[in-house]
Chain A
Amino acid sequence: MAGILKRFVRLRTASAGLAVLTAVLCLTILTLFLSPNGRGEVNLERSLRPPSLGHPFGTDPFGRDVFYRVFQGARLSLGVSFLARSISLLLGLVLGAAAGYFGGRLDSLLMRLADVTFAFPALLLLIAIMAVVSPGFVSLFVALGVVGWASVARLVRAQVLAAREREYVQAAKASGAGSTGVILRHILPQCLSPVLVIYTLGLGMTVMAEASLSFLGLGVQPPDPSWGRMISDGIGFMRTAPWLTFFPGLVLTLTVCAFNMVGDGLREALDPLSDRSRSRVTGGGDGFVGRDRVQGG
Chain B
Amino acid sequence: MTYAMFKYTLKRILILIPVLWGVVTITFIIMYVVPGDPVLVLAGERYDEKTLVEMRRDLGLDKPLHMQYLDYLGRVVRLDLGRSFVTRRPVAASIAERFPKTLVLAASAMVLAVVIGVSIGGLAVYNRFAWLGNSLMTLSLIGVSIPVFWLGLLLINIFSVRLSLLPPSGYGGGSLAHLLLPALTLSFASMATVARVTRSGFIDAAGEDFIRTARAKGMGEIVIIGKHAFRNALIPVITIVGTDFGSYLSGSVLTESIFGWPGLGRLIVQSIMKRDFPVIQGAVLFMAVVFVVVNLLVDLCYGIIDPRVRVGSGRK
User: Using a CB–CB distance below 8 Å, which chain A residues touch chain B?
Assistant: 13, 112-113, 115-116, 119-125, 127-129, 131-134, 204, 208, 211-212, 215-218, 228, 231-232, 235, 238-239, 242, 245-246, 249, 252-253, 256-257, 260-261, 264, 280-282, 284-291, 293, 295-296
Contact = CB atoms under 8 A, between A and B. Distances in A.
Given A113-B22, A285-B127, A121 B145 contact: no
Contacts of A296: 204
B284 A124 contact: yes
Q: Main secondary structure on chain A at its contact with chain B? A: helix
Interface string B193-207: 000100010111011
Contacts of B272: 127, 131, 216-218
A285 B156 CA distance: 36
A282 B195 CA distance: 12
B5 interface: no
Given A208-B147, A212-B149, A287-B126, A132 B30 contact: yes
Given A124-B284, A127-B272, A132 B277 contact: yes
Nearest to B27: A128
Given A284-B130, A291-B206, 16 more contacts: A112-B19, A122-B246, A124-B288, A127-B268, A215-B149, A216-B254, A235-B153, A249-B147, A252-B150, A253-B146, A253-B150, A260-B141, A284-B134, A287-B127, A293-B203, A296-B204
A289 B206 contact: yes
A112 B18 contact: yes
A116 B19 contact: yes
11 contacts: A113-B22, A131-B277, A212-B147, A216-B254, A218-B272, A235-B153, A260-B141, A260-B145, A282-B134, A288-B125, A291-B206
Determine the interface band of chain B, counting residues with CB < 8 A from chain A: 35 or more
B165 interface: no
Contacts of B163: none
Interface in B246-275: 246-247, 249-251, 253-254, 257-258, 268-269, 272-273, 275
Interface string B206-247: 110000100000000000010001000000000000000011
B288 A121 contact: yes
B126 A288 contact: yes
Interface in B133-182: 133-134, 137-138, 141-142, 144-150, 153-154, 156-157, 161
Contacts of B19: 112, 115-116, 119
Contacts of B284: 120, 124-125, 127-128
A115 B22 contact: yes
Given A128-B280, A218-B272, A231-B149, A288 B22 contact: no
Contact of A256 (B147, B202, B203, B246): B147
Nearest to B212: A291
B26 to A, nearest CB: 6
Q: Main secondary structure on chain B at its contact with chain A? A: helix
Contact of B249 (A13, A124, A204, A238): A124
Contacts, number: 171
Nearest to A281: B200
Contact of A121 (B138, B229, B291): B291
Contacts of B225: 288
Contacts of B142: 253, 257
B34 interface: yes
B297 interface: no
B33 interface: yes
A112 B287 contact: no
A281 B246 CA distance: 26
Given A119-B292, A124-B250, A287-B127, A238 B30 contact: no
Given A120-B23, A129-B30, A212 B281 contact: no
Contacts of A133: 33, 35
Nearest to B206: A288
A232 B148 CA distance: 13
Contact of B157 (A120, A127, A129, A238): A238
Contacts of A249: 147, 150, 153-154
User: Which residue, of A120, A239, A289, has the highest number of chain B Cβ atoms within 10 A?
Assistant: A120
B305 interface: no
A242 to B, nearest CB: 6
A216 B35 contact: no
Contact of A253 (B35, B145, B287, B288): B145
B76 to A, nearest CB: 15
A217 to B, nearest CB: 7
Contacts of B146: 253, 256
